Structure 1
Amino acid sequence: MRIGQLAALAGVSTRAVRHYHHLGLLPEPRRLANGYREYTLREAVTLARIRRLSELGLALEEIRDVLDDDRGRELREVLVELDEDLARQEEEIRDRRARLAPLLAQDELHPDDAVSPDMATVLGRLPQAEGEMAQRDREWLALLDTTLADRDRPDVIASLLSMPEPDADHAARVQEVFSELDALADADLDEDDPRVDELARRLIELTPSALLPAGEFRIPEESDAFIRAFLADLPPAQSVVVRRVIALLAGS
């Protein structure tokens, strides 16, 4: 097949095909007597894999390593793996559409609705506090719902669902702490300020026991994507308080 047919089959542009040739990701095929490239099914499979791996977020250098591992394998083996990749994509799309269906069936949508049903239940049980910190609390849980690894989701969601319904006194105390944290948004606060330890201990006290780490707690690395986003979203003074919460839970 010619380059235009190959590009159309794989769903990319002819410019992309030439670019992959230039980078060495897609080997140059043999040329006919008239100088035109003549592509085979193997090149089409390789091009489809490049596109798939790119969509999964791999850098071109990483894609090159994956393709190098495939050199010399039987075409059937490569096709089977590609078919399995496509089957996983189909399943992911079905799962996403299944989550969209109940949302699209609603006449009015709230921002909290675009989470999993379990997380929607969790958000519905939270004290209805007001202010920036309360809004961030909900946004963080929604982000956690998206970033949780499949292996961790059952335990984390079960812990969140085990939270008791907040009573009026607990809701008022949560609102008070969130309001004090909001008031610190523009403050110049260092870790030795007595307000830091006091607010951190009150936050821990108000956190349901099911959500507190059991046994030895290791301070999370700031290279962790969720922790990095969590801390970067906070004004400096509030970040100091949250870091103290983490340190207290770790016993340091």
Structure 2
Amino acid sequence: MTWSTREIAELSGSTVKTVRYYHEIGLLDEPDREPNGYKRYEVRHLTRLLQIKRLTGLGVSLAQVAAMETDTDGHASIFRAIDAELEATVERLLDIRRELAALSRPGASPDVPTGFGGVAEHLRDNDRLLITIYAQLFSDESMDAVRRILEENPTPALDERFRDLPEDADEATRQAVAEQIAPFVDGGATGHPITLEPRASTPRQAAAARSAVGHALQALYNRAQIDVLRRAYLIGRADGDARPARD
């Protein structure tokens, strides 16, 4: 028994256009033709179409299907590569589901990274934007340290003093605010020092991450606030160097 192009396409769950395309790229042999010029497909054509459909349904590309015809020893490596891609896709989907679940909880905010929903209401817009940038550039461990400080050591009065610091704040005011903030930078007041480790895998990427943070700080905070953060960092580092090491 033989079939026309339309019939073989319907039997294989394909389309006439697809069958013709497989002929063009060499995946499907051309069938014999009847005296009137019509193609007549046989069982071997149907089984080939079903094989291609099964492989492409598993994620095998048409180029890989073609390669499998000439390299029978490479089948396993193709399937392993596709399985690894699927595993990575599954992990990404699981991450998405976890984030969606977190965003579905009461009080969660899409304006801050996952895990910061509990402190979002106390953050101003520029703080939210900076944390969003941090979450992209720095490691999960770094962000956990930031989140713990915000959750476990709320300092609303100090936060407001820093946020309301005018750009023309005098030297004494800047130094006083910096000294108040410093213990939270080096961990002396919290037990959780903040060490921002870039996610980057190369020195160039790490440098780009730190440069991006510098630009973000300049865009989101005024010069007095940036100066206070710089002073707090230097004070915290000096205090950390002077603090005796723990056993």
TM class, shorter-length: 0.3 to 0.5
TM-score (norm 2): 0.47
TM-score (norm 1): 0.46
